[in-house]
Structure 1
Amino acid sequence: MSIRVAAPPQVHAPSTDDGRLAARVETGLIIAGFAGMLFLLPRLDWGDGSIRYFQLTALLSQGTVPDGKYSMIGPLFSTPLWLIGDSVGSPVWWTLRYNPLLLAGGVAFVWFALRDRLPRPILRRFVMLLVFASMFAHHQLGYNGEVFTAILVLVGTVALVGRKAWPGWLTVAVGVAGTPAALPAMALMTSKWIWDVRRLRWGLAVCAAVALVMAEAWLRRGGPLTTGYETDSGPRTIMPYSGVPGLSYPIFFGLLSLIFSFGKGLLFFAPGLFLPVRQRLGDLAVGRQLYDLWLAFVVGLLLIYAMYWSWSGSSFWGPRYLLFAAVPAAFALAVRCCRPGDSVLADVITVLALGLSIWAGLNGAVFGDVDVPKVCWPDGSGQYEAPICFYTPEFSALWHPFVAGAEPLTTGQWIYLGYGIAVGSYLMAGPLLRLAGHLRTWMSPTAARVRAMRW
Structure 2
Amino acid sequence: MSIRVLERPKVHVPCEDDYRVAARVETGLIIAGFAGMLFLLPRLDWGDGSVRYFQLTALLTQGTVPDGKYSMVGPLLSAPLWLIGNLFGSPAWWTLRYNSLLLMGGMAFVWFALRDQLPRPLLRRFILLLVFASMFAHHQLGYNGELFTAMLVLTGTVALVVGRALPGWLTVVIGVASTPAAVPAMALMTVRWVWDVRRLRWLLAVCAAVGLVMVEAWLRRGSPFTTGYEAEDRGNRTIMPYSGLPGFSYPIFFGLLSLVFSFGKGLLFFAPGLFLPVRQRLSHLPAGRQLYDLWLAFVLGLLLLYAMYWSWSGSSFWGPRYLLFAAVPAAFALAVRCYRPGGSAVADLVTVLALGLSIWAGLNGAVFGDVDVPQVCWPDGAGQYEAPLCFYTPEFSALWYPFVAGAKPLTTGQWIYLAYGLAVGAYLLIGPLLRLAGHLRTGAVTAAARIGAVQW
Q: Does 1:269 align with 2:260?
A: no
Q: Per-residue deviation at 1:10?
A: 8.4
CA RMSD between the two structures: 1.5
Matched position secondary structure for 2:108: helix
Q: In structure 2, give the amino acid aligned to 1:444.
A: V
Measured in 1, the distance between the counterparts of 2:354 and 2:41 equals 25
Measured in 2, the distance between the counterparts of 1:346 and 1:223 equals 54
Measured in 2, the distance between the counterparts of 1:189 and 1:452 equals 56
Q: Which moved more, 1:240-249 or 1:89-98?
A: 240-249
Q: What pairs up with 1:36-185 in 2 under 5 angstroms?
A: 36-185=36-185
Q: In structure 2, give the amino acid aligned to 1:339.
A: R
Measured in 2, the distance between the counterparts of 1:450 and 1:415 equals 51
Q: What pairs up with 1:42-441 in 2 under 5 angstroms?
A: 42-231=42-231, 232-441=233-442
Q: Does 1:34 align with 2:30?
A: no
Measured in 2, the distance between the counterparts of 1:68 and 1:313 equals 19
Q: In structure 2, give the amino acid aligned to 1:151.
A: M
Does the Cα contact within 8 Å between 1:230 and 1:245 map onto a contact in 2?
A: no
Q: In structure 1, give the amino acid aligned to 2:62.
A: Q
Measured in 2, the distance between the counterparts of 1:154 and 1:431 equals 27
Q: Per-residue deviation at 1:344?
A: 1.1
Does the Cα contact within 8 Å between 1:192 and 1:293 map onto a contact in 2?
A: yes
Q: Per-residue deviation at 1:14?
A: 1.2
Q: What's the CA shift string for 1:188-212, capped at 9, x where partnerless?
A: 0000011111111001100110011
Q: Which moved more, 1:180-189 or 1:229-238?
A: 229-238
Q: What's the CA shift string for 1:425-455, capped at 9, x where partnerless?
A: 00000000000001000001344578999xx
Q: In structure 1, give the amino acid aligned to 2:362.
A: G
Does the Cα contact within 8 Å between 1:362 and 1:417 map onto a contact in 2?
A: yes
Measured in 1, the distance between the counterparts of 2:450 and 2:243 equals 63
Matched position secondary structure for 2:230: coil
Matched position secondary structure for 1:317: coil
Matched position secondary structure for 2:194: helix
Q: What's the CA shift string for 1:295-339, capped at 9, x where partnerless?
A: 000000000000000000000000000000000000000000010
Instruction: Name the TM-score, length of structure 2 as normaliser.
Output: 0.96
Measured in 2, the distance between the counterparts of 1:53 and 1:40 equals 21
Q: Per-residue deviation at 1:282?
A: 2.1
Q: Per-residue deviation at 1:13?
A: 3.4
Is the alpha carbon distance of 1:9 and 1:190 closer, same or farther for their aligned partners in structure 2, counting shifts above 3 Å?
farther
Q: Per-residue deviation at 1:244?
A: 1.3
Q: In structure 2, give the amino acid aligned to 1:144.
A: N
Is the alpha carbon distance of 1:406 and 1:115 closer, same or farther for their aligned partners in structure 2, counting shifts above 3 Å?
same
Is the alpha carbon distance of 1:446 and 1:196 closer, same or farther for their aligned partners in structure 2, counting shifts above 3 Å?
closer
Share of identical aligned residues, percent?
Answer: 83
Q: In structure 2, give the amino acid aligned to 1:412.
A: G
Q: In structure 2, give the amino acid aligned to 1:399.
A: W
Is the alpha carbon distance of 1:26 and 1:52 closer, same or farther for their aligned partners in structure 2, counting shifts above 3 Å?
same
Q: Per-residue deviation at 1:238?
A: 1.3
Q: In structure 2, give the amino acid aligned to 1:265.
A: G
Measured in 1, the distance between the counterparts of 2:90 and 2:219 equals 29
Does the Cα contact within 8 Å between 1:130 and 1:326 map onto a contact in 2?
A: yes
Is the alpha carbon distance of 1:444 and 1:73 closer, same or farther for their aligned partners in structure 2, counting shifts above 3 Å?
same
Measured in 1, the distance between the counterparts of 2:447 and 2:220 equals 73
Measured in 2, the distance between the counterparts of 1:418 and 1:361 equals 13
Q: Which moved more, 1:45-54 or 1:335-344?
A: 335-344
Matched position secondary structure for 2:296: helix
Q: Which moved more, 1:229-238 or 1:398-407?
A: 229-238
Measured in 1, the distance between the counterparts of 2:131 and 2:141 equals 12
Q: In structure 2, give the amino acid aligned to 1:54.
A: F
Measured in 2, the distance between the counterparts of 1:11 and 1:36 equals 38
Q: What's the CA shift string for 1:100-148, capped at 9, x where partnerless?
A: 1000000100000000000001000000000110000000000000000
Measured in 2, the distance between the counterparts of 1:152 and 1:243 equals 33
Measured in 2, the distance between the counterparts of 1:336 and 1:10 equals 25
Matched position secondary structure for 2:152: helix
Matched with 1:5 is none
Q: In structure 1, give the amino acid aligned to 2:397.
A: S
Does the Cα contact within 8 Å between 1:371 and 1:406 map onto a contact in 2?
A: no
Q: Per-residue deviation at 1:242?
A: 1.1
Q: Does 1:18 align with 2:14?
A: no
Q: What's the CA shift string for 1:151-190, capped at 9, x where partnerless?
A: 0000000000011001000100000000000000000000
Q: In structure 2, give the amino acid aligned to 1:277.
A: V
Measured in 1, the distance between the counterparts of 2:184 and 2:130 equals 24
Matched position secondary structure for 2:341: coil
Measured in 2, the distance between the counterparts of 1:342 and 1:28 equals 31
Q: In structure 2, give the amino acid aligned to 1:167.
A: P
Unaligned runs of 5+ in 1: 1-7
Q: Which moved more, 1:359-368 or 1:236-245?
A: 236-245
Measured in 1, the distance between the counterparts of 2:287 and 2:111 equals 14
**Equivalent residue pairs, number:** 446
Does the Cα contact within 8 Å between 1:132 and 1:362 map onto a contact in 2?
A: yes
Q: In structure 2, give the amino acid aligned to 1:243.
A: G
Q: Per-residue deviation at 1:371?
A: 1.3
Measured in 2, the distance between the counterparts of 1:207 and 1:29 equals 41
Measured in 2, the distance between the counterparts of 1:244 and 1:136 equals 30
Q: Which moved more, 1:61-70 or 1:223-232?
A: 223-232
